[in-house]
Amino acid sequence: MAKIELLSQDTIDKIAAGEVVERPSSVVKELVENSLDAGANAITVEIKEGGISFIRISDNGSGIEKSDLRLAFLRHSTSKIQSVEDLFTVSSLGFRGEALSSIAAVSQVELITKTRAEFTGSRYRIEGSKEVSCEEIGAPDGTTLIVRNLFYNTPARKKFLKSAQTEGNYIHELMQRLILSHPEVSFKFIMNGQVRLQSSGNSNVKDIIYHIYGRDITRELLSFEHTTEQFTVSGFLGKPQISRGNRNYEIYFINGRFIRNKIIAKAIEDAYKPYVMQHQFPMTVLYFQMDSAAMDVNVHPTKMELRFENQEAFYYILTELISDRLRHQDMIPQVPVDDGETNTNEKPVPSKEETLPEPFEVNRMAKQKLFALREEVRKDSPYEAKFSDEILQKKAEPSVPGEQPSTDASDSGKKQPFEEPAFIREDTAADSYEQQRFLDEQSMVRQKILGQLFDTYWLVEFDDKLFIVDQHAAHEKVLFERFRRQFAQKEFPSQVISPPMVISLSMREIQTLEQYMEHFTKLGFVIEPFGGSEYNVCGIPSNLYRLDPKAVLIEMLDDLTEGPGENQTPEILWDKLATMACKAAVKGNNCLSMAEMETLMKELMKLENPYHCPHGRPTIISMSKYEIEKKFKRIV
């Protein structure tokens, strides 16, 4: 065995740094969190070359006292906690006391800081954990920390960094989350000399979402707010039509901290499951407030994971709250008929990642804003009075070159971003209004079924909109809800088969069958032991239609064996109900009579969620008369 020796302090520092500083975005995260903990309400982040060569964080927080400068760069030095008991009630974002020490171990750091009580500030330089200089300097209140040449003394780690562009993108995404997590703080993010993100600090979350993700996403948000014994939650839920192919848009914060948590993710995704297609994930921006004593964020060096008490109860409560909010909402996507067209006289609309306009861009942006507002305002809209040409012109009025756009000032005197179109600020009243107009049974007498298109889609005229219904998806949804109701009420009829079907099962399959026998019985299967590893299937669900009953049963057993745990609802049974509904539903290219369409339409309208088939595809889309008339140049 090799001789045991103590590691040098330099080696210890670099190993510790590897746990905290993975890449430039880790540095930005730790330092911005320190600024927030210092009470800053204005923070500027500037990077060059993806943060590899240069990172500067400036804030107007409380600053660091001269006597604490050297102490701040020692490992496990912190002002956030004093004892191990504090770990269970910690409310600050950074508390390990390793950030500055770890960053200084693998970079060249310059710190300029001043407290409000001190007459002059201090500049402290440290490179590779070794002090270079410490001197007095004139400085504003707050702290500026500059990090140069990250991993300059650990080239083996530096080579594992990605390109400067990719590392910069990581920081850009991080800044988006930080801005969302603290809407009361004014942020500015500068990348390679260009302002990429900026917020006003006016505490309006919807403003921030608008500037980060754009108009199309912001207009499809549902407000969400509830208080329970375990937690308080507020924020926004995205409608299913803006779902994405990954979880990057599932954003949630706990006590101001961006978190990844399997329980919360599962609750969100299970609530959305009836509304989105498989492998699609919802857009959410949610803010949770919980008793810090009931959770532990000290489970990972990045502090992005947590554990909390009563996770099962948390899951069920959150799932039900989100499900309840999504029920009965207008989920019919409106399809603009002029998608893809551009006005050749207009420059392209800025992407969501572009900064707020600089002075020379004000006129162009104002013109685009006016154009966008006009695009959204319908002449017969209930909001018409709010959008007269005079008001629109006033809201989008350009300023003279060199001036900032005219904005309202907050109490702190900060400038506000452009005011969003009013349709974005409208709460869910518009959703319920649209729902009552088309989905309310009393309004069905005003629906006019025009006929079938391609023997697959129904065309329905209602007021000033054209609704297009997918007959297969609609019938599939009606059958699925019927099957589910029968399953819940134990009314699934069985069909006796003679002679019985004999199946041979493995030990694991037998265990699964016995565990879920009650569910199989409710579905309509009649299964009896036949001896050894064989079972008799004496009855099958009468609604299996063209499905092979033996294949269905074996497939369900396979999925249950590899799927949910003991206390989880076997979701595969619901998937099989969806499959049964899909097989039985009327297909496309089938001509239906007017009476058949009207009957199925009435059944569809009675469902809680008539907007999506069991697989998440939309059953109905709509086009407005206004959009169609634009296409025919009746409106210019």
pLDDT of residue 183: 95
Contact 71, 101 (CB under 8 A): no
| Same domain as 582, residue 513 | yes
The answer to whether position 497 is within a domain reads yes
Q: List the structure tokens of 26.
A: 């880790």
pLDDT of residue 392: 34
Contact 87, 293 (CB under 8 A): no
CA gap 148, 135 in Å, rounded: 19
Picking from 452, 435, 441, the residue whose alpha carbon sits closest to that of residue 595 is 452
| Same domain as 147, residue 31 | yes
CA distances to 338, 339, 489, 629 from 343, rounded to whole Å, are 11, 12, 57, 17
Contact 602, 458 (CB under 8 A): no
At which of 154, 171, 198 does a domain end? 198
Which range marks the domain in which residue 64 is found?
9-198
CA gap 149, 254 in Å, rounded: 33
CA distances to 109, 258, 286, 289 from 223, rounded to whole Å, are 43, 20, 10, 17
| Same domain as 261, residue 139 | no
**Cα-Cα end-to-end distance for the chain:** 85
CA gap 449, 466 in Å, rounded: 10
CA gap 121, 140 in Å, rounded: 8
Helical segments of 569-620, H only: 571-584, 594-605
pLDDT of residue 275: 86
The answer to whether position 402 is within a domain reads no
What amino acid occupies position 612? Answer: H
Q: What torsion, rounded to 10 degrees, do the Cα atoms 553, 612, 609, 606 define?
A: -90
| Same domain as 236, residue 96 | no
CA gap 155, 583 in Å, rounded: 60
| Same domain as 258, residue 111 | no
CA distances to 51, 126, 488 from 15, rounded to whole Å, are 21, 18, 57
The answer to whether position 353 is within a domain reads no
SS (H, E, C) 201-212: CCCCHHHHHHHH
For 330, phi then psi, to 5°, come to: -70, 105
CATH of the domain at 120: 3.30.565.10
Contact 591, 452 (CB under 8 A): yes
pLDDT of residue 120: 93
| Same domain as 250, residue 118 | no
| Same domain as 142, residue 40 | yes
At which of 292, 326, 360 does a domain end? 326
CA gap 60, 39 in Å, rounded: 8
CATH of the domain at 304: 3.30.230.10
How many domains does the chain divide into? 3
CA gap 158, 135 in Å, rounded: 31
pLDDT of residue 2: 58
pLDDT of residue 45: 97
Residues of the chain with pLDDT under 70: 1-20, 75-98, 296-305, 328, 336-437, 439-440, 490-491, 544-546, 562-577, 580
Beta-bridge mates of residue 536: 502, 528
pLDDT of residue 282: 93
pLDDT of residue 428: 41
Contact 466, 623 (CB under 8 A): yes
pTM over 0.85: no
Neighbours of 107 (CB within 10 A): 25
| Same domain as 181, residue 42 | yes
pLDDT of residue 415: 40
The answer to whether position 131 is within a domain reads yes
CATH of the domain at 570: 3.30.1540.20
